[in-house]
Amino acid sequence: MIDRRVLIHFDILLPILVVPIVLLSYLLIGEASPSQNLRQSIYILIGLCAFVVAFFIPVRQLNKSVVIFYWICIVLLILVYFIGTKQLGAQRWITIGAFSIQPSEPVKVAIILLLGLHIHNNPPPPEGYGLKQFAILSGYILLPFVLILKQPDLGTALVVLFVGFGTLFLIGVNYKIWATLIVATLVASPLIYGSLKDYQKKRIHDFIAEKPSYHVQQSIITIGSGGLLGKKKEDSTQTQLKFLPIATSDFVFAYFSERYGLLGAIGLLGLYIFLTLHILSFSLTDAKDYRLRVMACSVALLLFFYVAVNIGMTIGLAPVVGIPLPLFSYGGSSFITFMIFFGLLENLLAFRFNFSYNANPFKAILRSPKYR
C-alpha cells in the first residue's frame, strides 16, 4: 500500500500532456515505416518502465549514490574513446554483445541530479553564487561537455552546456560572473570556430548561406505542401516518395506538418509550450526545495532546447545538428531519458513531505500530547 497523500501530490496533468504527443508519434511512425513502429513500441514500453522505476527511487535519500552515478557516467564517456563503436563517423556508443549504450544520455540525468544535490547542500546567497561555488558547479557541467564534444557530438554537447548553465542562471549566480563570461565568449569565438570539425563548419555555412541545404529545402517544401489542414497518407508525396530525408527522426515535424497541416503543427507546438511551462511551474512549488527547483528548471530547458532546435532546423532557422523532437522522433535513447526525467519530477513532487510506504496512522495519534 502507498500512502494516499503520495497520490494526492502526484501531478496528473504531466501524463495528460505527454500521452497525446507519444500517441501522435506512434501513429505517424507507423504510417511512414511499419518496421520502425514495432521497435518504437518496445521503446515506449521500456520508457514506461523507466518512468515507474524513477518514480519509486528514493531520490532525496541517495546523496552518495548520485555522486557515484555521475562519476560512472564520466568513466563510460572516457571508455567510449577506447572501446566505443563508430556509427556515421562518430564514436558515441559502447556495445557489449547485443546490448548498446550511449553514455551521453544517462550523463544528462547525472549532471542534473548532481547539480540538485550540490545546490541543496549549498543554497545560493541572496546576491547569487560567487566565483568559488560557480566554478565547482561549472566543473560538473564542463567535464562531460568536453568529453561529449570530442566524440564528436556537437548537438548533445550544446544541450549539456545550455541546460547546465541555463539552470544555474535561473537558480541564481552573481550578474558580474555572467557579464564576464559573455565578454570572454565573444573574444574567444574565433578560436572556438577554428576548433570545429569540417562537417560542423559546413553545417554553419549551410545555415547562414542564402540557399539552404538539400535536406532543409525538402523539409520546407514538405511543410508547405501540407497547407492548412494537411493531406491524407497516400497524398503525402514528399514523404511517401522519399523526397523528405530522415522523415521519422530529425525531420519528423515536417512529415507531421504535411499530414496535419498548419493547424496540426500549431496544435503540436502548443502542446509542447504548455508542457514546458507546466514543468517550469514546478520550480515555484517551494522556493527552498532546490532539488525540485533544479530538476524542474533543467527539464523545462531541455524540452525547450530540443523543440526549438529541431523545429528551427526543419524550417531553416537553426543548423542541422541531429537533435530529435522530444517524445516524437523515432528512437529510444532520447525518449527513455525524458521518461526518466518525468518520473524523477513526479517523485520529487509526490514525496517532498517525506511520505513513506505502509505508513501507520496510529503512530502519529499516539505521539499526540492528548494521548500521553
On the question of pLDDT at 75 being above 90, the answer is yes
In a domain, 367, yes or no: no
pLDDT, tens digit, 9 for 90 and up, residues 190-219: 888 787 777 777 777 766 766 777 888 888
Cα–Cα distance for residue pair 116/60, rounded to 1 Å: 10
Among 242, 239, 241, smallest CA distance to 222 is for 239
Cα–Cα distance for residue pair 3/88, rounded to 1 Å: 49
Spatial CB neighbours of 6, under 8 Å, sequence gap ≥ 6: 350, 351, 355
Q: Assign 3-class secondary structure to 123-169.
A: CCCCCCECHHHHHHHHHHHHHHHHHHHCCCCHHHHHHHHHHHHHHHH
pLDDT, tens digit, 9 for 90 and up, residues 109-149: 999 999 999 999 999 999 999 999 999 999 999 999 999 98
pTM above 0.85, yes or no: yes
If one counts the domains in the chain, the total is 1
pLDDT at 331: 81
In a domain, 128, yes or no: yes
In a domain, 313, yes or no: yes
Cα–Cα distance for residue pair 7/238, rounded to 1 Å: 46
Cα–Cα distance for residue pair 367/109, rounded to 1 Å: 40
In a domain, 25, yes or no: yes
In a domain, 366, yes or no: no
In angstroms, what CA-CA distances link 209 with 108, 125, 195, 201?
33, 46, 21, 12
Parent domain of 48: 4-352
In a domain, 365, yes or no: no
Residue 179, classified by CB atoms within 10 Å of its CB into exposed (0-12), middle (13-18) or buried (19+), is: exposed
In angstroms, what CA-CA distances link 352 with 124, 286, 347, 356, 358?
20, 10, 8, 11, 17
**Pairing status of strand 90-96 against strand 99-101:** antiparallel
Mean pLDDT score, 145-166: 89
pLDDT, tens digit, 9 for 90 and up, residues 270-298: 999 999 999 999 999 888 999 999 999 99
Reading the block at residue 163, the C-alpha cell is 541546460
In a domain, 251, yes or no: yes
Confidence of residue 361 (pLDDT cuts 50, 70, 90): very low
* Residue 56 backbone zone (phi > 0: left; psi -120 to 50: alpha; other: beta): alpha
In a domain, 103, yes or no: yes
Cα–Cα distance for residue pair 20/44, rounded to 1 Å: 13
Partner residues linked to 357 by β-bridges = 2
pLDDT, tens digit, 9 for 90 and up, residues 294-327: 999 999 999 999 999 999 988 888 887 778 899 9
Q: Residue 73: how many CA atoms within 13 Å on its side-chain side?
A: 26
Give me the DSSP letters along 22-91: HHHHHHHHHHH-HHHHHHHHHHHHHHHHHHHHHHHS-GGG-HHHHHHHHHHHHHHHHHHHHHEEEETTEE
Confidence of residue 90 (pLDDT cuts 50, 70, 90): low
pLDDT at 363: 46
